[in-house]
Structure 1
Amino acid sequence: MISRYQRLGAALALTLATLSAHAGLNIQTWTVAGGAKVFFVESHALPIVDVQVDFRAGGAEVPAGKAGIAGLTRGLLDAGAGNLDEEAIANRVADLGVQLGGDADMDRASLSLRTLSNPEERKGAIDLLATLIQQPTFPAAAVEREKARSIAGLKEADTQADAILARRFAAAVFPDHPYGRLPSVETVSSITREDLVDFYKRNYTAARAVVSIVGDVSRAEAEAIASRLTGGLPAGEAPVATASSALPHGQTIRVPNPSAQAHISIGQPGIRRGDPDFFPLVVGNYILGGGGFVSRLTKEVREKRGYAYSVYSYFMPQRDVGPFEIGLQTKGSQADDALKVVSATLAEFLAKGPTEAELQAAKDNLINGFALRLDSNRKMLEQVAVIGGFGLPLDYLDTYRDKVRAVTVAQIREAFKRHVSPDHLVTVVVGGDGDKTAPVKTGAKP
């Protein structure tokens, strides 16, 4: 007898072979009772349904002093729900042959599900997901176990230069915003089961939910799925916009660490989702540091001078203004010289923008690679969830390539001037002290 896992695996193996490249997606949308928004793409290429439920329950919603509670809450949803304990949930997942997933970041907490689309297995899978979303029990033993696991991970991270860098960089770039508050041993230790229950009740509501569905179901079936997943949630209050982060003062922070490599991040608040400068910045950043070996930063820092194996830049648009960041690692003795090259490369790009040849090469790469974003149900689901979760236009994917194609050198130059200012760039350097030829540095402790 062929198992559910074998059938699901066979269907997944056909994904790349049977899905064609889409110019975009026919996204249908509606709102269910209670206020949850639904975004649906009907696709019968495979007998699979992918579902994701996103809640406005990420790190930005966390009370001061409780950083880490968003991730703990999300992680404990399958530790017990309804009349099912953790073992029963795991057995149910195995019996149904479904795949559960999800995560929590600064803006969203998500639960995702992949199941075969036949009615019997689909119903069992959706019922299970609804139970996890609507009836978590947060067992005390599981809470303490996951807290201990998180604390152990944080203690280990506090010895690693890259983790120290992430914490110090976030705090310096977002000093007055939740985006700058990352979990610590102290904040996670302070979280109680009552805190988790309260966070869940305030944030896992229908008004704060977005349901994304992609796959082998009809519109009527998708409506039933969305209603089943959110119908048992309290309506709650519609989320309010978070306050924008003020631009930080330009500064350099050096953090001692015995690593031979200096771990470096340079950046500031960049753009939010839906910013009109998004496409000029995407294309421009590909040229500056997002295009791997063809980017200017790689050519100047790695190829010409050998200061770093990898150097990169990116914009991370979020619900509020997410970071613009340049990152690299280099020997401690070379850190100051590498920083000078990065600064000069960025300054020239801000002043002049890219060349026409660089612009055309970047456009060609971004346009030609676009189809890979939509070559499976899973990737389509990710794109639909972003569109729904951040309120992007429904034709965002349909118009993506045309908007990339329309970007000009002048638009890139002006967009970068609006969003990247040397006066507000924060530089954080962690480590490099283990390089015996490095100059002695002083600075704040991590």
Structure 2
Amino acid sequence: MKSLVSRSLCGLLALALLGGCASGTEPRLASLAALKDEAPARRDLDIQQWRTAEGAKVLFVEARELPMFDLRLTFAAGSSQDRGVHGLALLTNAMLNEGIRGQDADAIAAGFESLGAEFGNGAYRDMAVASLRSLSDPARREPALTLFADVVGRPTFPNDALSRIRNQLLSGIEFNKKNPGKLASQALFEELYGAHPYAHPSEGTARSLNGIRQAQLRDFHRRAYTASNAVIALVGDLSRSEAEAIAAQVSQALPKGPARPRTAEPVAPAPGHRHVEFPSNQTHLQIAQLGIARGNPDYAALYLGNQVLGGGGFGSRLMEEVREKRGLTYGIYSGFSPMQARGPFMISMQTRADYSEGSLALIKELVRQFLAEGPSETELQQAKRELAGSFPLSTASNAAIVGQLGAIGFYDLPLDHLERFVEEVQGLSAEQVKAAMNRHLDPDAFVVVTVGPTVAQSELPPPTGSTQPQPAGVPH
């Protein structure tokens, strides 16, 4: 149904744009060749912020280029708020558009489609989101908003839909038991976070899902989907007064109540290695330690340092040493995932099962070497150039901007966060990046998870100056 809604929106938008062209002014496209090697310009965002009477934080950017708008609600209603009933947050969010008074899921979907609007939702460890994309013409905007407010603020959680959605989640859990990458990720979060709310998967477990009842969904919605617990992000063809009216309408439809408490900080685990036996030719290897919370002042330096280490794809240290020089893997990646509490720093790859121990030792040594040396000036400047070229994509569309606004509001970042980030990255020295990486990473503190068969180990091939052939066969 989502694809039908999207096509409907695109069709109505195309008609609106064609109507604009009918005035006699022909649209002109700039030649790509004219861009040469220059990075595309980043949009300057005039972010306006206020709170509704019910306590919702609102961030708004006026964008008149297209006759449409994007609305995104972000709630502190992710799986970290499950309170031991694993899967409750995700199931509640998945059920939002399954029923309101007088309408079932099919009627709701048909309602959005008839208006050329698109509804979206999702739940993660920190947050749950609900979104609306609609044409800004009041004739379509107003009924779309009324339906959206009912879906997010007054869902009925019908039992027949609960059984269906729960069965879908249970099928996914069963399927993931055959996916070594999923098994590795789940085991890693368990080892890294222990008793912390981030430890359990957002989708819950078969046992926890089977115990969830309609009354629990209603109670979670009442507690976690309050206006005080919400960030409302708006981008599009709207005036300030129209944006205020939309925010007020949505805010008034939400339950009344306080914001949810912030997620507690996790306790760093002892380093260790957990192996999960799995019949395959490849071993999935993940290593991690606690990283940083969103808003940490070292974020820009860590982002840049990780781009050199393993986040920048081809050309990064890990890809060069593990794939290009030794042919041990198709890809190896590292990254910080800052969250409300300290998120993980992770390195992941898969390799031939008999190379798993040697690959793990090699990765640890490469991290140790990088922390000791820091990035070279050449590596640092290359990473800065790549960021300068790709960062404009983060504000290239209204959908991208509304996502950025949601994150800025949810994590209490300054309104000029995007501008500050770019400026800070460009001003960093190699020594500053090295110091930040060493403040937050310890080569002896990794938690390791491997998923694959137990086999005799082989010596790693020596590094060469040329690209090595990749492991034969399709990774499992």
Superposition pairs of residues 432-443 of structure 1, within 5 angstroms: 432-433=453-454
Work out which of the residue numbers 12, 18, 21 in structure 2 matches 1:7. Answer: 12
In 2, Cα distance between equivalents of 1:11 and 1:421: 56
In 1, Cα distance between equivalents of 2:213 and 2:232: 29
Work out which of the residue numbers 146, 152, 167 in structure 2 matches 1:133. Answer: 152
Partner of 2:312: 291
- CA offset digits 1:91-143 (Å, max 9, x no partner): 10111111111211111111111111111101011111100011100000000
Structure 2 portions without partners, runs of 5+ = 1-6, 22-26, 31-39, 459-476
Question: Contact 2:8/2:113 (CA < 8 Å) preserved in 1?
Answer: no
Work out which of the residue numbers 41, 59, 63 in structure 2 matches 1:43. Answer: 63
In 2, Cα distance between equivalents of 1:153 and 1:138: 21
- CA offset digits 1:349-385 (Å, max 9, x no partner): 1111111111111111111211111111111111111
Work out which of the residue numbers 424, 431, 437 in structure 2 matches 1:416. Answer: 437
Superposition pairs of residues 36-75 of structure 1, within 5 angstroms: 36-64=56-84, 66-75=85-94
2:228 matches 1:207: yes
Partner of 2:123: 104
Partner of 1:443: none
Question: Contact 1:350/1:413 (CA < 8 Å) preserved in 2?
Answer: yes
Superposition pairs of residues 280-429 of structure 1, within 5 angstroms: 280-429=301-450
Task: Report sequence identity in percent.
Answer: 38
Structure 1 portions without partners, runs of 5+ = 440-446
- CA offset digits 1:47-66 (Å, max 9, x no partner): 010000111100111111x2
Partner of 1:145: 164
In 2, Cα distance between equivalents of 1:399 and 1:128: 38
Give 1:438 shift: 5.2
SS class of match (1:369): helix
In 2, Cα distance between equivalents of 1:369 and 1:10: 31
When residues 418 and 144 of structure 1 are mapped into structure 2, their CA distance, relative to the original with a 3 A threshold, is: same
Superposition RMSD on alpha carbons, in Å? Answer: 2.1
Give 1:84 shift: 1.5
Partner of 1:192: 213
Partner of 2:180: 161
Work out which of the residue numbers 229, 235, 248 in structure 1 matches 2:250. Answer: 229
Partner of 2:465: none
Give 1:176 shift: 2.5
Give 1:11 shift: 6.6
Partner of 2:53: 33
In 1, Cα distance between equivalents of 2:29 and 2:425: 28
SS class of match (2:234): strand
- CA offset digits 1:63-87 (Å, max 9, x no partner): 11x2111111101000001321112
TM normalised by structure 1 equals 0.93
Partner of 2:298: 277
Question: Contact 1:81/1:131 (CA < 8 Å) preserved in 2?
Answer: yes
Partner of 2:103: 84
When residues 341 and 397 of structure 1 are mapped into structure 2, their CA distance, relative to the original with a 3 A threshold, is: same
In 2, Cα distance between equivalents of 1:178 and 1:401: 32
In 2, Cα distance between equivalents of 1:231 and 1:335: 55
SS class of match (1:293): coil
- CA offset digits 1:244-294 (Å, max 9, x no partner): 001110101111000211001101110111000101100000000001011
- CA offset digits 1:125-167 (Å, max 9, x no partner): 1111100011100000000111111111101111221111111
Question: Contact 2:55/2:227 (CA < 8 Å) preserved in 1?
Answer: yes
User: Which consecutive aligned stretches of 4+ in structure 1 deviate over 4 angstroms post-superposition?
Assistant: 2-5, 9-18, 436-439
TM normalised by structure 2 equals 0.88
SS class of match (2:393): helix
